[in-house]
Structure 1
Amino acid sequence: MTVPNLYGDPRLVGLYDLLNPAAADTAFYLDLAQSSGADRVLDIGCGTGLLSCALADRGHDVTGIDPSPAMLAVARSRAGGERVTWIEGDAGMARRGAADLAVMTGHVAQVFVDDASWRQTLSAAYDALRPGGCLAFESRNPACEPWRAWTPEASRRRVESTTYGWVDVWHRLIDVQGECVRFATHYGFERGGAEIVAESELQFRNQDALETTLREAGFVSMTWYGGWSREPVDAASRELVVVAIRD
């Protein structure tokens, strides 16, 4: 069975946290919110709300925005979910000038495959921030060509769900066209023998392209990291992590 929307099928949404648990990226954004003194945080593409709820648990006033009602249903039911303001939609629905910090985690930045939607999102994030506020996000570094490892052999994982039992997950590369990469994620359910295939498309912008669009949106300075330990960017960096300040 092939599904057009990875985050629309409740079975795949139910597996999301197992496949994407809290890790070094979560710690980075939690530390950034604290060190920057951000009282109000906007989580764009909040998904199942793992980071949003962790931020709220630390005393931040958090708004989580996501277009997927299935993901938001999980977010609302999470422990501490009642302390977060949840909005179904995109960044343009955020309150203007209300946030000290906006974040886009889980490589959300790469979901915007066309430049128009990407620029609209950056503009909306800019509008949502107070003067001097920060936008932080990460994107996979195209110089490392991470899609080369998106093969069934190299990417296969197995997770156990209390609802669905053991599930095998792997990627299959479909196509690479310039900066755009298309791939399929296969989910093999041991219980019942079902297989779901979700096709995805991601944009791999390099650091120069990301910086250009950030400046066009009005962000005046940027600090770049090559990973979650705040190491500098180099040719081997797997991540491009940026903290951008609006004027």
Structure 2
Amino acid sequence: MPDAIFAHPRLAPIYDAFDGSRSDLTAYLGIADELGARSVLDVGCGTGSLAVLLAESGRKVMGVDPAEASLEVARGKDRAGRITWVLGGAATVPVLDADLAVMTGNVAQVFLSDEDWKCVLQSIHTALGTGGHLVFETRRPEQRAWEEWLTDDAYTVLDIPGVGAVEQRREVTDVSLPYVSFRHTYRFLSDGATVASDSTLRFRSREEAEQSLDACGYRVRDVRDAPDRPGREYVFIAERTT
């Protein structure tokens, strides 16, 4: 079940407004160029920001997400109908012979159990063609990002066209490493409605991630910094080898 922030019909349409410009996504376009990827699978595509950029660059793109409300927003951005949108979890990914699969943002960290993580890696492995690549980012646990979240008691109010003013608050609700849970609460000032979304992320070490990739038929080609959060995230580039 996807978090309400992605699945609720009032939250998905305002997700992009609070998520910001997503300047981090240009790095993925650069990686796609570097790898010569012409067909791309966007796992956990959400509202489709990266998928649209990839399609605009002339690539064949499929976006997969379990939240229908987010896909509705994504389809609205794809006015030319160039992208194939699939409702479902990572395990539903068809065999594509894709050159590249990506998981951006917190997608790689929402798979909490070892079995779920293994399942998504295997499903993507099947969807990739021989020599295809998987690229994903994950927060470095040693940076303890949740400690900043714990002390951040600020809130944000945005005036969103067609919606009005919306207040967002975030609070950490549990830290039981390697799991960190938090809640986003949104208040729609136009009618006073309040909607909360609870999320949990798993913080895997670099060694854990590399071992899991190796066990699922990948070779780690590179581990880089995320350009928008230097020193805070790993960006893994792994090649399908079997």
Q: Deviations over 1:186-241 (max 9, x none)?
A: 1122222222211111111111111111111110233111222797xxxxx21111
Count of matched residue positions in the alignment of Structure 1 and Structure 2 = 240
Mapped pair 1:148 → 2:167:
no
- Gapped runs of 5+ residues in structure 1? 232-236
Letter paired with 1:41 = V
TM-score computed with the length of structure 2 as normaliser? 0.92
Runs of 4+ aligned structure 1 residues displaced above 3 Å come to 151-155
Alignment check: 8 A CA contact 1:221 1:246 kept: no
Aligned in 2, Cα 1:32/1:230: closer, same or farther, shift over 3 Å? farther
Report sequence identity in percent: 36
Cα 1:98–1:22 change in 2 (3 A) is farther
Q: Normalising to structure 1: TM-score of the pair? A: 0.90
Moved more, 38-47 or 188-197: 188-197
* Cα RMSD after superposing both structures: 2.0
Give the SS at the match of 1:137.
strand
1:243 to 230, 237, 242: 237
Q: Unpaired segments of 5 or more residues in structure 2?
A: none
SS in 1 for 2:95: coil
Report if aligned partners of 1:152, 1:172 keep a CA contact under 8 Å in 2.
no
Q: Please say if 1:103 is aligned against 2:81.
A: no
**1:44 Cα shift?**
0.4
Who is 2:87 aligned against? 88
Cα shift at 1:81: 5.6
Give the deviation of 1:47 after TM superposition: 0.6
* Alpha-carbon distance in structure 2 between the residues aligned to 1:213 and 1:145: 22
Partner residue, 1:222: 221
1:138 equivalent in structure 2: 137
| Cα 1:19/1:130, change in 2 over 3 Å | same
Partner of 1:190: 189
Counterparts of 1:63 and 1:4, CA distance in 2: 22
Structure 1 stretch displaced more, 55-64 or 91-100? 91-100
Distance of aligned partners of 1:47 and 1:141 in 2 relative to their CA distance in 1, 3 Å threshold: same
Alpha-carbon deviation of 1:152? 7.5
